[in-house]
Amino acid sequence: MGEDPAKKQESEPLTRSFIAVAIPEGIKNQLSGLQSKLKRAGAEVKWTRPQGIHITLRFLGYMTGPELEKVKEALAETAKSFAPFEVEVKGSGTFPERKRPRVVWVGLSKGDPELTGLFQKLEQELVKRDLGEADRPFKGHLTLGRVKTGKNLNMLVEYLAREGDQSFGAFEAKSICLVKSQLHPEGAVYTVLKEEFFTREAKGK
């Protein structure tokens, strides 16, 4: 992002933030149920609180106030280029491999091309404003939890396999959000700083 974070800290407070697409409460409840099933495996996983589950497009890290204003501009410009689109949350798995998983996730069977396009447009707008490039390419998923140790991993993978290609619901993505992330021992607390709705008219309308 340009200036060294340690130097920025001396001059003004920083905000840990990311850009995401929110998911509805009904799907969060479905995913909470899946987490409950997977917990029976007895693996040591730091589970994402259901209320905090979302589709991350870009993690921004620690930003200054002026940088966040630039992000809001990029958000507004990006949203103009998209119409609402359907997303289906379906399937589950682990990153990077089932034999040595580090992240437990659920996938997307619909909406991934649109989300990828959203990510690419957002990248253009952020880079244009000197806010840097993403550390990694976009891979559409929702994080259910992060594996802490190797305890009972085989059992966890077995429980995941039992879920197969289950659908957890579909929804219409209508907006993109800039979110503040505050880290606490019991889990991160998220606050939406800015939400921009997709305003482009859908094809065929």
Residue 152: count of CB within 10 angstroms of its CB:
15
184 is catalytic: no
| In contact, 2 and 127? CB cutoff 8 Å | no
- The catalytic residue among 28, 54, 58, 194 is 54
Nearby residues of 58 by Cβ (< 8 Å), 6 or more positions away: 18, 19, 119, 122, 123, 126, 134, 138
Cα distance between residue 173 and residue 24, in whole Å: 9
- The catalytic residue among 141, 144, 168, 173 is 141
Cα distance between residue 179 and residue 15, in whole Å: 10
Query: Peptide bond before 185: cis, by omega within 30 degrees of 0?
Result: no
141 is catalytic: yes
Bridge partners, residue 89, by sequence: 108, 169
**Selection from 175, 145, 157, 182 nearest residue 31 by Cα:** 145
The residues annotated with a catalytic role in the active site are 54, 141
